[in-house]
Amino acid sequence: MPELPEVETIRSQLSERIPGRRIDTIAVYDEKTVSPLAPGEFEEAVTGQTILAVNRYGKYLEFPLRSGSAIALHLRMTGRLHWRPGSADDGTRFLKLELTFDDGSSLVFGDMRRFGRAWLLPEDGAARRDYWARKVGIEPLGAAFTAKVLEQVLDGRRGPIKPTLLNQSIVSGLGNMYVDEALFQAKIHPLRRAGSLATREIIALHRAMRDRLRVAVAHGGASIDSYRDGLGQRGSMQDYLKVHLHEGEACPRCGCVVVKTRVAQRGTYWCPTCQPEP
């Protein structure tokens, strides 16, 4: 599932290829992808526009256009975004959107489960900043995300730490997999009350979050099942996961058996020895 490292991998690849390109044609194969826009509205707004950059906000991608507007996109569970040098059909299935550029290259958005979405953002810069401010919280790989900041946003929260870290309006970019990995590395049980963590635990968690995300970016993300990068290739982070999807296997730190439980309606993997129950 695309989380921050997967989306960042795609952003990085697309940012080397797409900025400066003009959108010659756009095909919307599934109106649900751009709803609630009226049919034709998305095409009208982006055809002929030059893409200026490829940005990431949490798990969202943003493509600012010369008009001042921007395309926003979220891959959700099974979305794929592939750039290809030509427009020839590369067998991408479940096509939702297809853009062709002025140099003959193209970008396709496919999504098996139809959760992925694209939006048109307001042209007004202040409105755009407001849009992102309301949607996403702190960028965990940014310089502004310090252990002190993490301590401040967790302070007073009574909910379990796992769903708190999954809440994108607090810290933005971690999903089920990297939360499990970060909590394991920081030796924190997923059901600990977020506001009850000691300062040393918050420092360890902050370090673990950034470390796991950085390592995952370095490996091009994790291709657990459907994820592929912006060029259609698999990532390799799935080979470096320590507890996630490792139910019944030995914990790499203590040798104890990794268990799977359900926290916040999510399959949750953890080590009963390294991450003691609260």
Task: Check if 39 is active-site.
Answer: no
CA distance 278 to 259: 16
Closest C-alpha among 86, 88, 74, 150 to residue 118: 74
Residue with tokens 């900041």, as numbered in its chain: 149
Closest C-alpha among 243, 263, 269 to residue 255: 243
Smallest separation, CB 259 to DNA (Å): 13
Name beta bridge partners: 109: 81, 97
Q: Footprint of DNA on residues 118-147 (CB under 7 A)?
A: 135
Smallest separation, CB 278 to DNA (Å): 13
Q: Give, in degrees to the nearest 5, the angle at Cα 51 between 45 and 54.
A: 120
Name beta bridge partners: 119: 72
**List 115, 149, 201, 273, residue binding DNA (CB under 7 A):** 115
Smallest separation, CB 5 to DNA (Å): 12
CA distance 59 to 249: 30
Is residue 163 involved in binding DNA (CB under 7 A)?
Answer: yes
Is residue 267 involved in binding DNA (CB under 7 A)?
Answer: yes
State which residue, 100 or 164, has the beta carbon closest to DNA: 164
Beta carbons of 218 and 232 less than 8 angstroms apart? no
Site string for DNA, 53-92 (x = CB under 7 A): -----xx--------------x-xx---------------
Closest C-alpha among 106, 125, 135, 137 to residue 231: 106
**List 66, 113, 129, 148, residue binding DNA (CB under 7 A):** 113
Catalytic residues: 2-3, 59, 266
Q: Which residues bind to DNA, rule: CB under 7 A?
A: 1-3, 32, 58-59, 74, 76-77, 112-115, 135, 157-160, 163-164, 166, 168, 175-177, 194, 262, 264-267
